Amino acid sequence: MDSAGTDGPDTAPAVPRPPGRPPAQETWSKFWLLTSAASVSELGNTFLHLAMPWTILASTGSALMAALSLGVQYLPFVASPLLGTLIDGYERRMVFMVSELAQGLLIALTPFLLTAGRVELVLVVLLVAGCGTVTSNLTSDFSLLPMLAPEDRLTEAYSRFGAATELARCAGPAVAGLVLAGVGGYWALWIDAATFLVTAAVAAVLPPGEKPVVERGFLRMQIEGFRSFRKIRGVPRLTAVLSVYNLGAGAVPPVILVLAAGTWGWSSGWAGAVLAAGAGGSAVGSWLGGRLLPGAPAERRIRFWFLVCAVASAALLAPWEGVVVAGFCALMAGEGGMNVTTNEYRFRAIPEEVSGRVNAVMRAFILGGAALSSVLLGWSVTLPEQVLRFAPALVTSVLAVLLWTAARSLRGGGRTDPERTA
């Protein structure tokens, strides 16, 4: 599999691991333990996105509060840079364990607040729990996972991790529906809370990393994070291209749901099955992301997956429902493969001491594009012509391919590897 020596001059060499950590080859079994726990946690997140609005609607009858309960869970992603500084200031395994434990305890509290009629406090609890989600995702994806994977199997590790978590996300809607129907909303939320406690328990048996030596204030660390983001070669470019892509394609899944349930008149069950199929496509793409073009430079593999997304976006413009659904699944597969290759690229390019802050800055921009995409696609999906409804997704997908290719050409073949110092 890919290593620092096989990726060629277009990617960063692997970031050296700090002394004192166990050899990665000895932790491969614990990688699978982390992957299993993360899959359970992802199942819980998907579960929560369905169970919480349903429970609030059943308890209060307020559709507005039900919708807000989902929105506040995504709001903390905007504050990712602040949370990234927190991650870089503490030992990563402990940060992950505390964030998972906090999410579990907060979610377990929500049924009691709903029983007391304190829905506004539920929204506050979900907002804080969302901060835990951002923190645990950044920590697991860019610190714990690479630490537990052998250097020469890093691409394979990201591929398997992505496939497993996407399969869990695929199963989430079905599991949530069965549990909600079987035991009701409150018990469903308590079961969801238990998934976070399981993940926290798993974190306790992972090998500890080194505790960072932090001698700077919070504001200084924030400034250093943004400065590192700007200076590490390849990182601003990747962020810009992913943000452009997300601007048109980031909100495709919820818009597909609106299109199927509204314009096409499909039942909620069939519409949910389409989303589950999309998650399955993402899992397939994640699996293929570690297997296609194994000896090619990372930049070439990233370009390949951008091309897959562009071709799939073209299928969304077709006037036939079946072709649109197939294009959606292919688009999700392209994004799954893209996640594997870009995550590996980010790990190899970004020094560990600033990985929390730099990845958090990247995520703020990238998910900001996805948020704007919901506005853009929310408008275009109301247009009468099918060819216009997903035109933004096709335009930004093609633009992402062109920007990524053009930026690489402008850099030229004689440039050095991306910098690994801030």
Q: Inform me whether the pLDDT recorded for 326 exceeds 90.
A: yes
Looking at the chain, how many residues does it have? 422
Q: Inform me whether the pLDDT recorded for 17 exceeds 50.
A: no
Q: What is the pLDDT of residues 216-257, one digit of tens each?
A: 566 777 777 788 888 888 888 898 899 888 888 877 776 776
Q: Contact 315/324 with Cβ under 8 angstroms?
A: yes
Where would I find the H helices in 290-390?
A: 298-315, 321-349, 355-380, 386-389
Mean pLDDT across 65-77: 67
Q: Inform me whether the pLDDT recorded for 1 exceeds 60.
A: no
285 residue type, one letter = G
Q: Inform me whether the pLDDT recorded for 32 exceeds 70.
A: yes
What whole-number distance in Å separates Cα of residue 77 and Cα of residue 62?
A: 25
Residue 261 pLDDT: 64
Residue 407 pLDDT: 66
Q: Inform me whether the pLDDT recorded for 266 exceeds 70.
A: yes
Least confident stretch, 95-99, 289-293, 394-398: 289-293
Q: Inform me whether the pLDDT recorded for 311 exceeds 90.
A: yes
Mean pLDDT across 308-321: 89
Least confident stretch, 21-35, 81-95, 263-277: 21-35
| pTM, to two decimals | 0.66
Tokens 């950590």 identify what position?
21
Q: Contact 401/303 with Cβ under 8 angstroms?
A: yes
Tokens 């958090």 identify what position?
360
What whole-number distance in Å separates Cα of residue 80 and Cα of residue 230?
A: 16
As a three-state string, the secondary structure of 21-85 is: CCCHHHHHHHHHHHHHHHHHHHHHHHHHHHHHHHHHHHHHCCHHHHHHHHHHHHHHHHHHHHHHH
Residue 307 pLDDT: 93
46 residue type, one letter = T
Which band of pLDDT confidence, cut at 50, 70 and 90, is reported for residue 331? very high
Q: Inform me whether the pLDDT recorded for 197 exceeds 80.
A: yes
Least confident stretch, 2-6, 94-98, 214-218, 384-388: 2-6
